Each structure stands twice: as structure tokens, then as C-alpha cells.
Amino acid sequence: MRKLFFKNALLPGGWARNVNIEIDAAGMIASVTKDSDAKGRSVDAAIAVSGLPNVHSHAFQRAMAGLAEFDQPGKDDFWSWRTTMYQFVAHLTPDDVLAIAAQLYMEMLEAGYTSVGEFHYLHHQRHGVFYDNPAEIAERIIEASHNTGIGLTLLPVFYAHGDFGGAESHENQQRFINTVDGFARLLEGARSALKTTPGAVLGIAPHSLRAVAPSELRSIIKLRVNGPIHIHIAEQIKEVDDCLGWSGERPVAWLLDHMGVDENWCLIHATHMNGAETDALAKSGAVVGLCPSTEANLGDGVFNGARYHQTGGRWAVGSDSHIRIDAAEELRGYEYSQRLIKHARNVICAEAASTGRTLFDAAVSGGAQALGRKTGALTPGFAADILALDEDHRVLVGKYGDQWLDGWIFSGGKDCIEGVWVRGRKVIEGREHVSRQMIEANFRRCMTDLLAR
């Protein structure tokens, strides 16, 4: 048994002092003892909390962060940004994806995320030419998770059409497109590649209702074994209008009515819902994957968080396009968006509780559910995914308990995190990844070459 000792730790029953955590050979917490004898003990950290799951990632997009921040002809919105993304993705090789994903996952770990849901839809060569190995690029994602130590839930994406009603795909989407049979082969290749990855989870990700026909959606759900199901939905007003034109229903309503949505589902964005959809989704047990920084960057809109919170809805956060990577910033951004709508303070907050604690608890619990991972709590049987906060940081010093979470989320950020363990392995030491120099050097070489093509 490996042992870690923390002066203070957030346990399921609340904050505790002098906490001893024993970790087994598989990286799972074997025992937790509070009020331990601290005499002569080496302290691993002053403040320990569970690591946060990042439920929505398109790894390659980290490399294009900042490349779409210019005024484009006509209406500049999500759809014009998507054109820029298509142009960028056309040049990526599998080795590029490896270097970019490793850099991204390293930054996630330094920012407070200990696991990631990789919504992986870049499958083929340029112009849609298949690789001999259907999981060629998926294997690079897996390798990046190995190189960094982040917990991986791999979500291969099924993408078949260019719009609702089975419309033909566009030329610039060919690197994403699969048939149901092709997707089955991709899943099998990914499943085989993940066998040597401890704690890895394999789910599925129908891209969106506009990219997957109903019959195909039902078919690929049958291919799922035990992992979660993630889908983009209701991110844009145009998407809602187009779905109404196709089916007579709004996207979330259609999904709830036709696909048996339950706790295995994670609906990404769900930005544009009416009240009935919001209430029904909350009751379904599914998780909403919110990506506040990306949603703000793309001008998507603001999620109806206050109503969803009041009806007991489950949610988690992701960094999506990775325009910024900071777990605290995503939580802060979500709360601030609700304050701006409501003209009020402390909106996503349990009664007479800390807002930071409320946000944190919801994100780690909802994130664990969405990624199908046994994580999100410092308790026996859960993965030893742990963040250490710096008690001497200027926004944390002199505080205690939930005030640490409030300080980190609302006044600090990733610079408050001084150490990170994933499945008991320390991957962040002194605020930096243990392999930062090598990973960053590979990324710099990749970007220099990529942007010169």
C-alpha cells in the first residue's frame, strides 16, 4: 500500500484534518483515516480535494486556439468558426494529434482536471481516405493519455451526414464520416488498444442529431457495451430551428421522446432548451456537459442553469475547443453567466452554502457519472485522483474549508494547484507536469511545422 498524508482533505462527510489515505496497486483508495497521528509524518499536501473530470474535449482544437479571432465576412458565428476548423483539421497527421493531445492533457492536469472525455471524431486521412487501422488516430489519443497520466474516457464519434434528415455530408467533413459497420470496426480497434490502459473507459458519441439519422443512432447505441453515450445537442439557435423543420420537435425534446435518455447519457451544451425540456432533462438522470469558455468564445448562448439547478439536474464541465484550460475558470464562468441573466449573486448554490463548494461538488459528481469513472470522492473504492491546493497562495492563505474552494474558483485559478495525483501516481509536482519539458518541446516542433504547411 502506498500512503499519502494530508493536513486537510475534503471527504464525502466534509472537511477533515490529518487524513491518511492508503492506495492499492491499481491506484484505488483502499482506506481513509481522519484525525490520524501526525507526529513524525511527512505531509504530502496541506489541502487535498478530488480531481475534476473534463467531460468534453476535442484535443486537436487546442492547436487552433487563437486562430479564429478575426472578423470573418458575413455573420461571424459558430458556423463561420466551424469553416476555419475544417480548414485547419485538413492538415493534421496522426503524429500531430499525438503531440497536440499530450500538450493538452498535460495542461489539463496542471489546471485541475484528472480525467478527460475525448469526443474523438478525426478518424481518416485527408479527403476521407481510410487508414489501414481504423483506430490509427484513436491510438495516438490513447498514447497521449499514457504519456501524461490523465484518466481517459475515449468517446469515438459516429458522424454520417451534413445536416438533419440524412443530408449528404460536405467535402470538408470526410475525415469524420463513417458507416455503422465502419464505426463498429473503429470501436473494436479502440477497445483492443485500451486493454493496456488501467482505468480506461470506452463509450460512444453520436455527433449530433444533424449528423446522425435516427436509424443509425439506434444501431450504434446497440454497439455500446458499458460506457457512456455523449452527444452534442441544442448548441445553436439555427440547430433548434432546423430540428423543428425536420421533426416538428426541438432537439432535446426529440431525444428525450425517442431515445430513452437516462443516467448513461451526457448531453453536451443543451444551451437552447425551453422550460419543459429543462425540467424533463433534469428528471431523466442524464448529465449536461457545460463548456462555458467555449460557449462564450463561439457566441453560443447561455444555459438555463438556475432552473436546471432548482429541479435537481446533474451537470459537469468540459473545455471543448480549449480556447482556455482552467477548471476553476469553467466553474466561475458558469456561475457568472447565471448572475448576468438573473441580476443576482450566488445563483448555483445550495441553501446557506458556499457557492464554490456547490459548484465543485456538482462538477466532480456529474463528471464522474458522465465519464463512467469511479472517481470524484476521496473514499475507499474510488480512484486516487487528488488535487493539492497551496495553502500559502495569496487567495487561500488564512482561510479554511469551503473558503479554500471559494478562493480557488472565484479569485484564483490553476496557479492555486501545486500537486496532482492520478490513480495514486504524482504527475504534477511544484505546479508543473513531471514530463513538461519533453511534452512541450514536441508540441513546439509540431506547431512550427504545422503552421508552415
**Catalytic residue IDs:** 269, 320
Question: Look-up: residue for cell 464505426?
Answer: 183
Residue 43, judged by CB atoms within 10 A of its CB (0-12, 13-18, 19+), counts as exposed
Helix (H) or strand (E) holding 6: strand 2-11
Strands (E), 44-137: 45-50, 52-57, 113-120
For residue 385, what is its C-alpha cell?
485522483
DSSP 171-214: GGGTTT---HHHHHHHHHHHHHHGGGSTT-EE-BEE--TTTS-H
Residue 381 has φ and ψ, to the nearest 5°, of 90, -10
The candidate with the shortest Cα–Cα distance to 158, out of 180, 142, 188, is 180
- The Cα–Cα gap between 180 and 159 comes to 9
- d(Cα 2, Cα 425) in Å, to the nearest integer? 10
| Contact indicator for 293, 319 with CB cutoff of 8 Å | yes
317's CB contacts (< 8 A; 6+ apart) are: 52, 54, 55, 289, 290, 291, 292, 327, 330, 331, 334, 363, 367
- In whole angstroms, give the CA distance from residue 336 to residue 330: 10
What cell does 86 get?
Answer: 475544417
Whole-number Å distance between alpha carbons of 122 and 138: 8
In the block, cell 476521496 appears at 378
Report d(CA 139, CA 174) in Å as an integer: 20
Yes or no: say if 348 and 359 are a contact pair by the CB < 8 Å rule.
yes
DSSP state of 166: T
CA distances from 333 to 30, 329, 379 (A): 35, 6, 29
